[in-house]
Structure formats: structure tokens, C-alpha cells
A = this chain, B = another copy of it.
Amino acid sequence: MFQRILIANRGEIALRIIRACRELGIETVAVYSEADRGAHYLDLADEAWCIGPPQALESYLQIKRIISAAEIGNVQAVHPGYGFLAENAHFAEVCRSCNIEFIGPPVEAMQALGDKVSAREIARKAGVPCVPGSDGLVSDVEEAVRIADQIGYPVLIKATAGGGGKGMRVAGNEISLRAGLAAASAEAEKAFKNAGVYLEKYIERPRHVEVQIIADNYGNVVHLWERDCSMQRRHQKLIEESPAPKLPADVRRRICECAVSLVKTANYTNAGTCEFIVDKDFNFYFIEVNARIQVEHPVTELVTGIDLIKQQIRIAAGEPLPFTQADIPHTGCAIELRVNAEDPDNGFRGSPGTITKLRLPGGPGVRFDSHVYEGYTISPYYDSMIGKLIVYKPTRQEAIECMRRCLHEFVIEGIKTTLPLARRMFTHADFVDFNVDTTFVERTF
């Protein structure tokens, strides 16, 4: 096992990793930018090094400086957390070339899954459904119509060079396809000097369901069940929960199996997440693999009783998985709420500043993962998440009642937060009955 680990991250996930290491008897080396100097969690590390100015590009994204800290700190491994360099294959390569283990998957797997085309290829090999489409450009209208007939309407016309919705069209039938194809192509030509377009099945109001997997270096791969993350805003997850409500048992089983076979095919190791979209008829389609620990990992820790950060470290240290698929229970219901320093009344603009009063919820089944405290100043340089409130109860109904109770107790003054939005979400009948999809939050609040 490692004696010292460097944590190439900040905030709540840095604290989370420090806590896991301390319980494992591993010393920690923290790095920080000038903006994070003096934060309490840095005192909890055995060593902390300033690596640069506040801007992440000059500090938390500076591979050279982090490696210097790792060498000075004399660590055997680096935990990247999430965000920043967590999915940067080059960083993983540099770490390992310095004989410092990168706590994450192999570089090859990161690269293969990082590229959309090769990831689709792997999924197909693994027999995992992807969103059906034209697998490449459509040369003429007749071909497009033929493909659309195969995959079924509605279809999405996408510019291959596309972005920001430009050159994108939804076609509900052949007429609008014929019309849309020309229009999209022209628009793409105009916008990107590239008229190439392709077709993809259009999934209406999908749910976001993801599967947590974990794999050791000896070919053992297990899933730790699924999470539903349909409650999101502008592709930012707000609420994550497990089990995924109203997901039929057989669909649940198949989606978890698909995740396992996909990462096996990719020779993936350590912790990862396979993201899927699920349509209203419970057809699911692979979207991408997040090759890192995720913000919402506590949800899975609570329903399975497995400490994912500790597992990541043990796997990176060469230990085999201590359990098989059959050993992994799923009990109760866990729901995570992300608390962000944003002003819901002003377009969710970030609200940095000093927390002047803080009253935290607590009691049975309540976990609040956060690095903040009364008097802490949220800097404007990094993302706005200040903590994760996670509740764990026998049933979803009880979990929701517990979350409401927590939101009633929760007091944060000095900055604007998303708590008022949270109170509305957890009392909205459609969330309680779980009649939601990834467009629900934006449609409703």
C-alpha cells in the first residue's frame, strides 16, 4: 500500500480524499493555489504546497508544478479527484513516467473511451446499444430517408463540424427530413465551411441513468448499481439518487450488465461511470464513460456500504477487488443534493463571498460532504459547488421527507445559494412521483 499520496485537487473532494487516506493510514500531500491558502482542509493534510496563482490554468491544471510537488512531497501516487486533470490522459502518462502511480484507469482506456467514435466502436463490440444513426455522413437525401426509415422517426440532423446547435434539425417525418437536410447542410456550410451532416435517432425527454463500475488490475469488473441524474440544469446535475426510481427490474439488470461488459471490453480499471440515456419506453443508449470518481459517488457508497475512494486507492496499489458481484448489496435509497453558491433569482449567477452564518442539518441518515464552514470565503475562481447534502433512508419517500427536514434546518448566510430552488424541487409533485426527465428542471423552475 502507498505511504504518501498527493491530492491534485481542491475543495470538498480534496477533503474527501484526505479523510479516506487518513483512515487507511496513508499520509497526504495537498496542493493549493493562492486563492485556497488558509482553507481548513489543507491543515488536515500532512503537507501542503502552494503551486501557483488562483487561476486554475496556472495552478490546478499545471502538470509540471503538480509533479514538482509530488517529487518534493515524495509521494508514491496521485489522486486527481474529479474535474481539473482527472481525465487528462497526458497527466496520467507523466505521473506514471515519473514512477508515481496515477489513481485512475490505464492511459489507453482513457484515450479509447475519451474519443466519441472509438467509444461507440467499443460499445458496439461489447453489444451495448448506442443511439442509432448514420455512422458517418449522409451523401444524398435518398440515403438519409432510407436510414431514417431504418432507425425510425423522429431523427436528428447534425452537422459533423457542428456545435452550439448550429446546423441541427429535428425531423419528425420524411417531409421534414427532406426539407431539414438541405437547410441544415446549407447552415453548416455557412457556419463551418463544411456541409457534411449525419443522422441520429432523436430521443425525446430522456432520463439520465448512469452505472457505477469498479475494476481491479486482474480483470475483475463489478457494477455498484445505477444512479438517476435526470434532475439537471444546463447539463449540470442537481440531484442524483439510487436506486433509479420506476426503472423496471429487467431494464436495471440489463443496463448494469451492459456497463460491465463495456468497461471489460475497454480493458478499463479503477472506478468509472457509464452514462446512458433512457427513453420513455425504457430503451437505453450508451452516451459516454466518465473515467474518474464522480461528484455523486456518495450516493453509491450509501446504498452499497462500499467506500469508493478507498477502493480506488487499493486498486491503484495493486490489490484485487475484495468482493464479487454477488457480494454487492443495494439497500435503501440515497439522494444527493448539490448545494451551489449561485443566485437562482439571477440566472444562477455565481455568488462568491464569505459565509457569515452556517447552520448545518444533521441527525440520522444525513451526510454533508463539504469543505466550508462559518467564516469560509468562496472564491470566484472555481466551480460554485460548496457542498453535497446526501440523505440515506429505507425508502425514497422517507429520504425525501428527510431531505425536506434538512432543507428546513439548513441556514447559509452571506452568499446566495441554490437552497431555495432545492426546497421547490423536493416539494414538487412531479419530482416526488418522479415524472421527470433531463428537461424537467429547465421546463419547471
Residues in chain A within 8 A of chain B (CB atoms): 15-16, 19, 22-25, 40, 44, 298, 301, 305, 307, 331-332, 358-360, 362-364, 366-370, 373-375, 394, 398, 401-402, 404-405, 408-409
Q: SS class of chain A's interface: helix, strand, loop or mixed?
A: mixed
Known pairs A23-B398, A25-B401, A44-B408; A367 contacts B369 (CB<8 A): no
Chain B's closest residue to A394 (CB) is B305
| Complex CA–CA separation, A367 to B360 (angstroms) | 12
The number of times this chain is found in the oligomer is 2
Q: By the criterion CB–CB under 8 Å, are B373 and A359 in contact?
A: yes
Which 4 A-B residue pairs are closest in the complex by CB-CB distance? A19-B363, A22-B405, A23-B401, A374-B374
Nearest neighbor of A392 in chain B, beta-carbon distance: B305
Question: How far, in Å, is A84 (CB) from chain B's closest CB?
Answer: 21
Chain B residue numbers with a CB within 8 Å of A405 are 19, 22-23
Q: List 27 A-B contacts (CB under 8 A).
A: A15-B363, A16-B363, A19-B362, A19-B363, A19-B364, A19-B405, A19-B409, A22-B405, A22-B408, A23-B401, A24-B401, A40-B359, A44-B408, A44-B409, A298-B364, A305-B332, A305-B394, A307-B364, A359-B373, A360-B360, A360-B373, A362-B367, A362-B369, A363-B367, A363-B369, A364-B367, A366-B367
- Shortest C-beta distance, A219 to chain B (Å), equals 25
**Closest CB in chain B relative to A389 CB, distance in Å:** 11
Minimum C-beta distance from A309 to chain B (A)? 8
Measured CB to CB, the nearest residue on chain B to A411 is B40
Q: A19-B364, A305-B331 are in contact. List 10 more A-B contacts (CB 8 A).
A: A16-B363, A19-B405, A22-B404, A24-B401, A40-B359, A298-B364, A358-B373, A360-B373, A362-B368, A373-B374
Report Cα–Cα, A374/B40, bound state, in Å: 15
Complex interface: chain B residues within 8 A of A305 (CB): 331-332, 394
Shortest A295–chain B CB gap in Å is 15
Q: Is B402 in contact with A364, judged by CB distance below 8 angstroms? A: no
CB of B23 within 8 A of CB of A402, answer yes
- Residues in B whose Cβ lies below 8 Å from that of A408: 22, 44
Question: What is the bound-complex CA distance between A409 and B21, given in angstroms?
Answer: 13
A370 near B374: Cβ-Cβ < 8 Å: no
